[in-house]
Amino acid sequence: MENSGLFEEMLRLLKGALSRIPEHRTGSNTLFEIEDAGLAAFAVFFMQSPSFLAHQRDMQRKKRKNNARSLFGVQKIPCDEQVRNLLDPPDPAQLGELFWDIYALLAAKGHLQGYAGVGGTRLISLDGSQYFSSQKIHCENCRVQEQDQKVIYSHQVMAAVLCAPEKEHVICLDPEFITPQDGHEKQDCEQQAIKRWVKRNGRRFTPWSVTILTDDLHCHQPLCELLKEHKMHFILTCKPESHQAVYEELALLDRIEGAIASKVVRKWNGRYHERWAYRWAERLPLRKTADTLWVNWCELTILNEATGERLYHCSWATDHAVSEQNIEEVVSSGRSRWKIENEGFNVLKNRGYNFEHNFGHGQEYLSALLLTLLLLAFLFHTALSLGSSTYREVRQELVSRRTFFNDLRALTRYMHFTSWQHLLDFMHQQLELAPT
């Protein structure tokens, strides 16, 4: 079987990040280590098992050993309440660097090959989502809204993922939490959060090696100027109703034959032919001001060739030069923005991670810190899908995600494994898969 290096290296990085959280324990709260609390919470998310810690405490009593220690390095298993108490004070930003450490690890091992879009750039999609809502539970970091004469408390996060047109998995990056400092309107909150993310992380990339993807909400001049300031490209969804200057100029160009370039590609989808119609134009004003930023524009319309039914339509503003040679690549990169929804939030919300579940709210940072650990668990599984052939073969053989995690929960409840690789090897052998 293969070497267990990738999981152990990532776990070592996680332990290191947790060990650097400043000491805040007092009195009887010092019975358990902060690092153990973080590892314990991470283990629950990684195993997708709310009862994992309880089962391991039972195993420790009966067998004098447990999987929380052997798989995740938890030296002393805290109860759920102790985990919440220990993880409420730490700022989740203290774990932010860990996402980039794992990103660098995957890149160094060659697991990010193929994660490229137009011009060979890395595609990073950003989008906001709510992960907590309540009419009663709240803290100082909650967003407060009035809805139907009711007060709603909530938490939101600006998530970021590395993606690529032909890649199944997205790589979760350091999130930016949306807090009351941003104002009370959703638009203001998200727009300020995405700017903070760019300012914090723009320096991490070689100039012009990244293309940022967002929805129409963020296709405005301040963000575009900030991205250019940090030497980052952009392809941003650009709708007619919110970009009057762009579409007025396009309407004028449309009167001039050939002013808007076009290209049609015929494709077979397995059932019928589709007509992919591309259009693009360069140097359009993003807004109606003297200091407007000039952008390039493109759109794609997909029709059922036989019936004329419109199957898809979207348009984008970009700083990439657009031509007949690269229009398909530009559009394919722009369409990858949806991967943060389909392979990101959809998996996190509906495939066992319970992204929107209240695992614990706390009075300071607990809700955000637990979400950070959940995102790290998602990242660990993605990394293993890319870097572990044993993991991939077990997942493929079991077919469904639910079966895989059900097996993990059952095996670790009744059997002890000396390491994560021992557990994977056992599953691989019992499924009678060929040695890797």
pLDDT tens-digit profile of 269-301? 999 999 999 999 999 999 999 999 999 999 999
Based on the domain organization, do 342 and 364 belong to the same domain?
A: no
Distances (CA, A) of 114 to 118, 135, 261: 12, 45, 29
The answer to whether position 103 is within a domain reads: no
Query: How does pLDDT run across 101-111, given as a tens digit for each residue?
Result: 999 999 999 99
Tell me what pLDDT residue 4 has: 57
pLDDT at residue 141 greater than cutoff 50: yes
Based on the domain organization, do 196 and 324 belong to the same domain?
A: yes
Q: List the structure tokens of 101.
A: 């450490």
The answer to whether position 99 is within a domain reads: no
The answer to whether position 63 is within a domain reads: yes
Q: Which of 347, 367, 393 is the last residue of a domain?
A: 347
Q: List the structure tokens of 325.
A: 């040679």
Based on the domain organization, do 208 and 247 belong to the same domain?
A: yes
Based on the domain organization, do 146 and 74 belong to the same domain?
A: no
Q: List the structure tokens of 221.
A: 């001049």
What is the number of structural domains in the chain? 2
pLDDT at residue 1 greater than cutoff 50: no
Based on the domain organization, do 329 and 382 belong to the same domain?
A: no
Residue 422: phi and psi, rounded to 5, are -60, -45
In CATH, what number is assigned to the domain containing residue 134? Answer: 3.90.350.10
Based on the domain organization, do 331 and 375 belong to the same domain?
A: no
Tell me what pLDDT residue 436 has: 67
Residue type, 123: L
Based on the domain organization, do 149 and 185 belong to the same domain?
A: yes
Based on the domain organization, do 88 and 151 belong to the same domain?
A: no
Query: How does pLDDT run across 34-51, given as a tens digit for each residue?
Result: 999 999 999 999 999 999
pLDDT at residue 2 greater than cutoff 90: no
Per-residue confidence band for 30, with pLDDT thresholds at 50, 70 and 90: confident
The answer to whether position 435 is within a domain reads: no
Report the percentage of the chain scoring pLDDT > 90. Answer: 92
Tell me what pLDDT residue 187 has: 45
End-to-end CA distance of the chain: 5
The answer to whether position 436 is within a domain reads: no
Q: Which of 327, 347, 367 is the last residue of a domain?
A: 347
Based on the domain organization, do 241 and 315 belong to the same domain?
A: yes
The answer to whether position 104 is within a domain reads: no
Per-residue confidence band for 144, with pLDDT thresholds at 50, 70 and 90: confident
Residue type, 95: L
Query: How does pLDDT run across 338-388, given as a tens digit for each residue?
Result: 999 999 999 999 999 999 999 999 999 999 999 999 999 999 999 999 999
The answer to whether position 287 is within a domain reads: yes
Based on the domain organization, do 58 and 189 belong to the same domain?
A: no
* Residues 172 and 181: beta-carbon distance below 8 Å: no
Place of tokens 């009862």: 51
Q: Report the alpha-carbon distance of residue 100 to residue 105 in Å, rounded.
A: 8
The answer to whether position 106 is within a domain reads: no
Q: Which of 294, 313, 347 is the last residue of a domain?
A: 347
Query: How does pLDDT run across 172-216, given as a tens digit for each residue?
Result: 999 999 987 654 455 458 899 999 999 999 999 999 999 999 999
Based on the domain organization, do 388 and 331 belong to the same domain?
A: no
Based on the domain organization, do 148 and 230 belong to the same domain?
A: yes
Tell me the residue range of the domain where 85 lies. Answer: 5-94+357-430
